[in-house]
Structure formats: C-alpha cells, structure tokens
Structure 1
Amino acid sequence: MNEPQASRDLKAAASAHVSAVSARAPRILMVCTGNICRSPLAEQLLREDLRTAGIDAVITSAGTRAMTGSDMTPEAAALSSQYGASHTRHVARQLTEELIAGADLVLTATREHRRQVVSMLPKATRYTFTLNQFARLVAPAALVDASASAGAGAGSAARNSAVEPVETSMRVLPPVSRARPPLDFAAFIADVALTRGLHPSPTPPTLDDVDDPYRQSATVYARAAAAINGSVTTITAALIAVGV
C-alpha cells in the first residue's frame, strides 16, 4: 500500500529539519506569559547547566503577552542567582512566529502556552512541549546512565543544594529500549515527539504545567522555581546521557 502523501511530506520536513540542526548549535526557546518570571528563569538555569556540561546550545525566551522591555521580577532574579545561574540583564520580548520557526525545541510553562505556540505555527507541534512534559518524556533517557545527573556539573549540584526540595509529583518512567542512539539534537527531539502518545498524561494533567508566580507569595515563587529546576536538571541529564 502506498504511503499517504501527507505522511511522506511530514517525514521529508522532519528530515530536512534534522539536517539543518546538525549543521549548527541547537536553539531552545522558553515560553511563558509575560517573559519576566518562568521562561527567563528556565532559560538561565538551562543555559548554565548546558554550559557546564559542555553542550553548545542557544537558549532564549519570549512571552505570549510579554511585558516588552522589562527585566525579570526581583523574585525570579533572586531565585536564578540562588539556584546558581548567572543572572544577567533580561529584556522581555513578545513571542513571534519567526522566533518559533527559528527554534529547534520550544518548551512552554503550561499546556495553554503550548496551544498558543502551535496555533501561531502549526508545524511547531513536532518540537513544542511543556517544560514538565518534556522532562517527563526524556526521563527514561536520563536513567540510561545512573551517573548522568552528576555530569550536569557544578551548576546543577549548587542549585540542588541551594533550596530545600519541593515535591513536584513528577513520575519517573522506566527505561525504554532504543534501536539506535539519536545522531544529533533534532533526531533526539523527533524521537521524543514520537513517544508522546505512548505514555499517559499525568494525573492531574496540570502537573505538566508550571504555575505563574507573578504577584504571588514567596512560597508560590519557590514552588515554581523548584519545578523548573527539577525539569531542567532532568533534561540536562538526558541530553548528556544520549550524547547530543
């Protein structure tokens, strides 16, 4: 039976995307609402982890209703420093179709943000996840080598000891067999995307979201930061383990 044209077109587009990414450093875009709390914090923590791990990547962020030109909130900036990231001047910016198209992986704070990203650029569904969802899906890769998390380096170690852990209720999935290791970052993302339908969503589904701490208490900020840190650490360990 002949393969449907739509399926062939999708595979061709994915193959072209993989080839393009293999020629340069991967680009990861973090997305939240105002681009002053969650997404810049995730951006800074992931950048620090990947830098320490020796993984070359370009990490940026944007907001669906950005407070354009604003810095991070003082609370988010303090948590970034407390978790060991190098906080520099942040300038909030509005999410655009061009930013989405230029990314190899888009990680959003919530499922609603993911819906907004995909509504702006439907083909981005292949490489857009919530931050917690992506960490949940790559957890098996992070577990392939039990020492992978140690490879995240001093950045993760300092962050994990800086703040008392907060229960995130994220499940650790069992390792899955792989026919071959991914050849590069884009191949890894394509592999992860294929597993979305194989694993049940968490209960409740809101566990795939990071709550918005803007104008909330210090406790809410700490809980959001701990969730972001936990997901970033898992993602870094997975990228180290698969050798992207």
Structure 2
Amino acid sequence: MESPMPVRILTVCTGNICRSPAAERLLQGGLDRLLPGAFDVSSAGTRAMAGDAIQPLSAEIIRRLGGTAEGFAARQLTPAILREADLVLTMTARHRSEVIQMDASLLRRTFTVREFARLLTALEQRDSMRAPGADLVGLWRELPAQAAAVRHLALAADASENDVIDPYGRGPEIYRQMENELAPALLTILRFARLNTERSDWAEADVAGTRK
C-alpha cells in the first residue's frame, strides 16, 4: 500500500527571510521527530526577497531551538503554491488577508500562527477532536475545518496578539520579541501533534491487544 501524501503546511510572511522560514524549519524539524515523512512544511513571502538566505539572527534562533537554517532560498507566494497547501499559517492578520485575496477557497484553511495555536488549545479543552485512531494524516487534514469552527472561542483580547513582529532590518531585541511571540505558538502546535501521536499509539496498542 502506498504511503499517504504528506500534510502540506505553508508558512507565510512578507520577505520570507525572517519569520516564515523560522516557523517552517522549526515545525518541520519537530514534526519529523514525531512522524517522519508525514508532513511537508514550506514557506513563502507576499513580497519575497526571492533567492535570499535566512537572515542571520533568524538563522541563529532556528539553530538554538534545534532546527537547521541551511539550504534555504526565499520564494514569492503564488496561487500555485497556495493550491498545494492543506494548512496556511501566516505571521500576521494582514498576511492572512493577502492569502485569502489571492485564493478565497483557503478561507477556512488559513490562520495566523498564534491564532491557530489558541484554536488547538480550545479544541483540546472542548475534547472535540474525533476519537483517537491510527489515521493521523487524516486527522490533520480535517484539523483546519475543526479549528475554524471554534474561532469564536479563542478570540484575541487585542488584535496584536494574532501577529508576530517583523524584525527585518532591526536589532537583536526585536528578533528576541519575534522569538517570544512565535516560539510558544510553535510549541503548542508541536505539543498537540505529540499528544495525538501518543493517542494513536495507544489506540493501535489496544486494537492489537484485542486481536490476541
């Protein structure tokens, strides 16, 4: 039997050299440790500095948090790239609007990364995920619609809480602020993935036990 297509996650910022590459590389690394080959995380920019490498201070953050910054080249966001995405995570509400203007069909599959993390927490608190099972790829394909359905439960107290600050051309303290806004959201997403991987393992073990 052929392996299912990986879940395709796209992260989006402006230049594609600071925020979205950090999200891409840290999510890909964390998800690969949980489910190798199950996810394909990439990134693009709404006004990309096409071909450029990751900015040094962002690369330093990626490495410090356990990812790799090598072999990256910024690319411009296009409708063709969006058509391939199962889930789009933007760095700001403005980027989300630009994605939806480019492809309105992505309305229920596009979130700011900080918003998406809050929505996963809301889903966990409601215990509204489907019953544990082995089809984690299927769960993640359904996840954007489930998250969109609980948007009203996880509204930000302030609109700025949806955004990750743009550090491009600014000092180390702004890169630290970027990290402080982005990293907790990524950790929440990876924690959600880990917990559901464990549930799947338990479910498979239970099924195997009943077959003995």
Per the normalisation by structure 2, the TM-score is 0.84
Q: Displacement of 1:200 after TM fit?
A: 4.7
Q: Displacement of 1:54 after TM fit?
A: 2.1
C-alpha distance in 2, partners of 1:226/1:53? 23
C-alpha distance in 2, partners of 1:219/1:53? 32
C-alpha distance in 2, partners of 1:187/1:240? 17
Q: How does 1:27-106 map to 2 (within 5 A)?
A: 27-55=8-36, 56-106=38-88
1:117 corresponds to which residue?
99
AA at the equivalent of 1:33: T
CA RMSD of aligned residues (A): 1.8
Preserved CA contact (<8 Å) 2:89 2:111: yes
Preserved CA contact (<8 Å) 1:181 1:242: no
Preserved CA contact (<8 Å) 2:119 2:154: no
Q: Displacement of 1:239 after TM fit?
A: 2.0
Q: Displacement of 1:208 after TM fit?
A: 0.6
Q: 1:187 aligns with which of 139, 142, 151?
A: 142
Gaps of 5+ in 2: 133-137, 201-212
CA deviations over 1:77-112 (Å, ceiling 9, x no partner): 111111111221210000001111110000000000
C-alpha distance in 2, partners of 1:200/1:239? 19
Higher relative contact order (CA 8 A, sep 6+): 1
1:224 corresponds to which residue?
178
1:15 corresponds to which residue?
none
Q: How many residues align?
A: 190
Runs of at least 4 residues off by over 3 Å: none
C-alpha distance in 2, partners of 1:54/1:23? 13
Gaps of 5+ in 1: 1-21, 145-174
1:162 corresponds to which residue?
none
Give aligned-pair identity as a percent: 35
Q: 2:127 aligns with which of 173, 177, 182?
A: 177
Q: Secondary structure at the match of 2:88?
A: strand
C-alpha distance in 1, partners of 2:54/2:127? 41
Per the normalisation by structure 1, the TM-score is 0.73
Q: Displacement of 1:64 after TM fit?
A: 0.1
